[in-house]
Amino acid sequence: MQGLPSTERNPRSATIFGIHYYEWRSVREMSRKAAVRRSLTFSRLTTAAPIRNLPLRRNVLAYELAPLPYDYAALEPTIDEATMKLHHDKHHATYVTNLNGAIEKHPDLGKHSPEDLIKNLNNIPEDIRGVVRNSGGGHVNHTMFWAIMKPGGGGEPTGKIGEQIAKDFGSFEDFKKQFNETTAKQFGSGWGWLVFDGKLKIVTTPNQDNPISSGHYPILGNDVWEHAYYLKYNNRRPEYLAAWWNVVNWDEVNKRFEEASK
């Protein structure tokens, strides 16, 4: 087999026995239907039949849990692997499941983005409003949360958000101090947020409430539910808050700042 391109060397593309395989890893990211279609193509090309391992979905779900954009252990030592696994695969997954359960009662709502659902909570039928607020909020909040972190992140804020932080808070150090102090004081479960109102502001919300429900697109947010930090930091929320800046993805935060400034 010497000389054959290996999927290990280039996991996104390989040619073996003249058959071109590509994007193995993206199977997780595509729709179930597309995955089955691709799998059928593969099973015709190869003796292995991955189709057998793919359960067929009976109902089309309105909302899906995307895989983490990096490995569970990628944010170590700031956030430990076990916390990431539980947080994404159990907590976030449950919000998505419960949101889908609510939408089944009013399927027309399923065509809206989860952000749109929580933006206009008053338009949501009363029988599912609470679930949409909590689980829709949970879905939106955590989707943002995974994206605004990255392995090897942190450092000084870059780009426009860096300039705005310096303008509104004096320095990054002053901003962090204020954000950490404010968020540490959130009683019980909730989030600390950075929003823009012509000027950057730090706010907190209880539970899974998102500032988008009161007209503010969040630029960044940190999860201070105990499930986000308890395994590693125990009851030391301020220690978690201080360490969290080491994994912030400022490129993504800049994209969100642009959206918030519109």
Nearer to Mn ion among residue 54 and residue 147 (C-beta) = 147
CA 227 to chain centre: 15
State in angstroms the smallest separation of the CB of 216 from Mn ion.
20
Q: Which is nearer to Mn ion, 223 or 252 (CB)?
A: 223
Cβ pair 260, 198 in contact under 8 A: no
Nearer to Mn ion, 92 or 119 (CB): 92
State the minimum distance, in angstroms, from the CB of residue 87 to Mn ion: 6
Q: Do strands 19-22 and 200-206 pair parallel, antiparallel, or not at all (unpaired)?
A: unpaired
Name the minimum Å distance from CB 97 to Mn ion: 15
**Cα–Cα dist 237/97, whole Å:** 28
Say if CB 199 and CB 228 are below 8 A apart.
no
Estimate the crossing angle of helix 250-260 against helix 159-169, to 10 degrees: 70
Give the contacts of 251 (CB within 8 A, at least 6 positions apart).
Answer: 158, 159
Which helix or strand (DSSP H or E) is residue 183 part of? Answer: helix 172-184
User: Which C-beta is closer to Mn ion: that of 63 or that of 225?
Assistant: 225
Least separation in angstroms between CB 75 and Mn ion? 14
Nearer to Mn ion, 164 or 249 (CB): 249
CA distance 211 to 193: 8
For the chain, the residue count is 262
Could you tell me the smallest distance in angstroms from the CB atom of residue 223 to Mn ion?
Answer: 4
Name the residue number minimizing CB distance to Mn ion: 223
* Sites of contact with Mn ion (CB under 5 A): 223, 225, 228
Q: How far is the CB of 225 from Mn ion (least distance, A)?
A: 5
Distance CA 111, CA 96 (A): 15
Nearest residue (CB) to Mn ion, 205 versus 254: 205
CA distance 210 to 25: 32
Q: How far apart are CA 45 and CA 101, in angstroms?
A: 38
